[in-house]
Chains A and B, each alone.
Chain A
Amino acid sequence: MNTYTEKIRERASALLKEGKVDMVIGFKKGTVPMATVPGIARTPQEAKAFVWDVNCRLNLAGYLTNRKEKIGIIAKGCDARNIVTHIIENKISREQLYIIGVPCTGMVDKGKISALFEDEITSFSEKGDFLQVNTSTSELNVEKADYLRDNCRICMHRNPVIHDELIAEPVPEPEIEAPFKDVEAIEALSAQLKWQHFDDLLKNCIRCYACRNACPLCYCPVCFVDESNPQWVGKGQDSVDVKTFHFLRAFHCAGRCTDCGACEEACPMDIKMRQFTRKLVKDCADVYGWEAGLSLEQRPLLDTFRADDPDAFVR
């Protein structure tokens, strides 16, 4: 058991015992190797089930929406930014929260690791910077840094921006040169090739909405996909409907997306839908100098304006 897990269990138990919070939201062990599930502990006993490893890929901020209780929450860098977004969007108040910050060194990409084997992974463990992966017929020791998720590779906010305590010393924040190479590669294509690229990207989408459900930003009481009069987007797998859905889902994250990667993690078809939100993250940074979820003082990008916002695109 790693020190993060120990510390998280200890602090979560203590908070519950002292009655400082009604519940703690964290990660528990999943049912298969290389998986964790979000879990809630309401008693110190339940807090013993919390874990922390390189598989805590989901984002816990989404479980805070409209809660009334006092909540303790385990937050890595991206979760913390989404908690800030939740607070400034009035989905929860800062006073209700006790944030246990986890300095994060990145989560691993399960897909990249399972691609190394022909059979299923039977066990997985983490030793420092190395990962030990076993299947029934083989075993492999790989370096964690080589198998990080794409969004973790370019993450520049690994330490929680908001927290009541940190469970470890802050980790150094990397300086990433040209973090938007992926977006620029698509921008360089012609309109027809871009269209083709996204057609190929989405061809396996089964419209299960797992990306929407995993996203901490998606909390509308009625989602546009469920509106029927007028119906904005068809229900089936017609490519126009799929694209319309992904465009609107991404656009609803404009100026709010922290590139946490929960959408891609939840996708059962391995669709890289971050390619939509990444463009918005880039434009927000380039045009408005905005990064989501860094400050409680600033209003969200689309909830405010400046008289001199660029409008060269307007006739």
Chain B
Amino acid sequence: MAENKIKIVAFLCNWCSYGAADLAGVSRMQYSADIRIIRVPCSGRVEPKLILSAFREGVDGVWVSGCHPGECHYLEGNYYARRKFGLMKGLLEHMGIDEGRIQFSWISSAEATKFARVAQEVADAISALGPNHKLVKRAG
């Protein structure tokens, strides 16, 4: 892989953003290929451990996307997620993780255009920061 290639892990909610990714795909929309998607049952399922674990394995950025507030499949999972992410992003950036390495969005399953646009924005923002060396566990 070329040196300037970045890797982004996207945790997408099964009920909305993952559907949007699917729709963007079947609609043949173009967006960055740097994004690797992991499907989760709800954005509320994404805990700091998962995000740190992604950095540990060497990704350059993490993107979490869930349903719009009020539209959670489990009624309120994304509301809890929102509080958790706000505090988590604050603490990670307080520790010196570059602002922008962690991205959040709300995308419904009908919003394929928004998905493609946000995916590109996230990829551009993280590319601009370059490769991440913080919290990466090197072998040995």
Contact = CB atoms under 8 A, between A and B. Distances in A.
B52 A247 contact: yes
Contacts, number: 115
A238 B138 CA distance: 10
Classify chain A's interface size. Answer: 35 or more
Given A248-B49, A283-B90, A313-B86, A307 B95 contact: no
A301 B106 CA distance: 22
A240 B69 contact: no
A197 B103 CA distance: 24
B82 to A, nearest CB: 5
Interface in A258-300: 276, 279-280, 283-284, 287-288
A276 B91 contact: yes
A66 B84 CA distance: 26
A195 B95 contact: yes
A194 B52 contact: no
A192 interface: yes
Interface residues of B, number: 40
A246 to B, nearest CB: 9
Contacts of B92: 247
Contacts of A301: 83
Interface string A297-313: 00001110111011101
A315 B104 contact: yes
A179 interface: no
Interface in B66-108: 69-70, 76, 79-80, 82-99, 103-106
Contacts of B98: 191
A196 interface: yes
B100 to A, nearest CB: 10
14 contacts: A191-B99, A230-B53, A241-B137, A247-B92, A251-B88, A254-B91, A276-B95, A279-B91, A305-B79, A305-B83, A307-B79, A309-B86, A311-B69, A315-B121
